[in-house]
Amino acid sequence: MTPLVGTANASAFAEHLAVLPDFLPPEHFTALAREVEGLGCTERSYVPTHKQGGTIAFDTLRPHAPGVVGFYRSAELRDRLGSVIGATLKVTPEGDYSSCSILVYERPGDHIGWHYDHNFYRGRHFTVLLPVVNRNAAGSGLSAGRLFAKIGGAERLVPTPPNQLVVFEGAKVLHRATPIDEGERRVVLSMTFGTDPRISLPFELARRVKDMAFFGLRALWGGRRRGA
């Protein structure tokens, strides 16, 4: 299995995934990691066999993690990612829980099974991961929680040491993170961007039909005018 590293140019994104080692300057990364680890308010989620772990939602990050939110919204990040992908990126809406959140793998077995990141938007949709912490019980190396992606039919290991950014087109790349072991910790900042992050027409219609059930026909016409 070939690990993927150092693919920082646009042509490499032909595989819909790129890895950027030592992404942030060390002082910036340390400050960000300190902010994340100071939060300590994770919500646990458990979907039998598919997913187990903690999450810190965008709603919590907004008031308590200005450094993280500022990083997510920064033009520098979008520009750098845009040059890797070869497209102009925008942040996804604040109401989308996956726009900016922290994934906390903190108990033995915490993992996420094979999945695609669903794209509800009109344009292309990208997932960007910045591993903040990744250590084994002894603190001597990385945890057993490893990111794998299926690329060109083959399963590839995507290394996620702290401060190594991973960007991929989650709706096209099947991926998973394997379980951590006892005493290990893996904390990942997960962000999403889109080339046109307006909700896609089928999802927009579904939303309007749902709203109509609550607000009557006005929701349909009102929605259409707003979207014009």
CA atoms within 13 A on the CB side of 4: 27
Kindly give, in sequence order, each residue whose CB lies less than 8 Å from that of residue 215, ignoring residues fewer than 6 positions away: none
In the complex, the smallest distance separating the C-beta of residue 101 from ligand AKG, rounded to whole angstroms, is 8
Restricting to residues 158-187, name those near ligand AKG by CB under 6 A.
160, 170, 175, 177
Q: Retrieve residue 163's tokens.
A: 């401060």
Binds 103: which of ligand AKG, Fe ion, none (CB < 5-8 Å by kind): ligand AKG
* Helices assigned H by DSSP within the chain: 26-37, 58-64, 66-73, 75-85, 201-215, 218-227
Residue 169 makes contact with Fe ion by CB under 5 A? no
Q: How many other CB atoms are there within 10 angstroms of residue 102's CB atom? A: 23
Residue 117 makes contact with ligand AKG by CB under 6 A? yes
Restricting to residues 98-117, name those near Fe ion by CB under 5 A.
117
Backbone torsions φ then ψ of 53, nearest 5 degrees:
165, 180
| Closer residue to ligand AKG in complex, CB, 3/222 | 3
Restricting to residues 61-90, name those near ligand AKG by CB under 6 A.
none
Residue 100 makes contact with ligand AKG by CB under 6 A? no
Q: Are 184 and 29 in contact (CB under 8 A)?
A: no
**Could you list the residues that contact Fe ion (CB under 5 A)?**
117
**Could you list the residues that contact ligand AKG (CB under 6 A)?**
103, 112, 117, 127, 129, 147, 160, 170, 175, 177, 188, 190
